[in-house]
Amino acid sequence: MKSLVLIGSGNVATHLAKQIAQSSYTIKQIYSRNLENAKALKNYLGIQEIEVLDNLEKIQTDADFYIISVSDNAIESIVNNLPKSIKGLILHTSGSTDINIFQESSGEDKFENYGVLYPLQTFSKQKEVNFLSIPFNIETNSADNLQKVRELALSLSPKVLELNSKQRMSLHVAAVFSCNFVNHMYVIAEKILKENHLDFELIRPLIRETADKALIQSPKEVQTGPAARKDQIIIQKHIDFLQGKTEISKLYMDISNEIMKGSH
């Protein structure tokens, strides 16, 4: 049975840990800067054998895998403070962090075996996620390691894809648009409705239909609405309606202009 050390205890680490705990891989240790968080994750998993720690020096050096699942700007410091004697495969789970974070600026490898295991999904603590639908995007420093990460990833999801760092970055940027920014559009809609004493529930069928369309068609081909029809009169009415809300009306105009140009 392959052994694994988990570094991190946030949303992604939590969802990953839960899935790994159901696989053939064994979590030996959970590290967190804050020991309480590591304990909480251990308790959540309900696995008494897991050792929790808040000191990177105490990480065992003979595990098969080390998964660094921390906020992006903490990865480098973790990498630099891991025991140098680690021979196992060290992976980070970040979309926008180049694999070369495991190299010195000279290009020399900091560790023998390293790579990336990036699950493309939006994880929130409140909601279960179906791992079967999550694409795992992998990259490693050698073909041998690629095979090992592929096996690990396949134990978590059937969708495993080899991407280079630039492709992974593009995927992350695309995810920001189609997830985080989409959600922000929902936030604005909710705000506008609320101000007019209308329930967000009213617009949920539309949200579902819009997403459903994108699941089966190219979004470029199914665009509708005032901007797609170049209906300047309605656009002006909406801008008038949004008077006083500077950022929202600016966003309305900018996105409408882009849709009218049809430039993407």
Sole binder of a second copy in the list 26, 60, 96, 103 (CB under 8 A): 96
Q: 85 vs 124, which CB is nearer to a second copy?
A: 124
- Does 100 sit near a second copy (CB under 8 A)? no
Sole binder of a second copy in the list 219, 243, 244, 253 (CB under 8 A): 219
Q: Which of 264, 239, 241, 240 is nearest to 253 (CA)?
A: 239
- Where do the DSSP E strands lie in the chain? 3-7, 26-31, 51-53, 65-68, 89-92, 114-119, 136-140, 160-162
Q: How many CA atoms lie within 13 A of 169 on its CB side?
A: 7
Find the binding residues for a second copy in span 115-174 (CB under 8 A). 120-124, 126-127, 129, 133-135, 161, 163, 166-167, 169-174
- Does 44 sit near a second copy (CB under 8 A)? no
- Does 215 sit near a second copy (CB under 8 A)? yes
Q: Which stretch binds a second copy (CB under 8 A): 19-27, 39-47, 144-152, 233-241?
A: 233-241
Q: 55 vs 224, which CB is nearer to a second copy?
A: 224
**Cα–Cα distances in Å, from 154 out to 14, 95, 119, 134?**
18, 18, 12, 11
Q: Please report where in the chains the tokens 């420093």 appear, as a residue.
A: 141
For a second copy (CB under 8 A), the number of binding residues is 93
The DSSP secondary-structure symbol of 135 reads P
Sole binder of a second copy in the list 2, 155, 190, 253 (CB under 8 A): 190
Sole binder of a second copy in the list 49, 84, 105, 205 (CB under 8 A): 205
Q: 83 vs 176, which CB is nearer to a second copy?
A: 176
Q: 110 vs 213, which CB is nearer to a second copy?
A: 213
- Does 242 sit near a second copy (CB under 8 A)? yes
Exposure string of 46-82, with b = 16+ CB inside 10 Å and e = fewer, is eeeebebbeeeeebeeebbbbbbbbeeeebeebbeeb
- Does 40 sit near a second copy (CB under 8 A)? no
Q: Which two three-digit tokens encode residue 20?
A: 């790994």
Find the binding residues for a second copy in span 52-91 (CB under 8 A). 71-73
Q: 48 vs 263, which CB is nearer to a second copy?
A: 263
8 Cβ contact list (under 8 Å, min separation 6): 31, 32, 67, 68, 69, 70
Q: 55 vs 100, which CB is nearer to a second copy?
A: 100
CA distance 135 to 17: 17
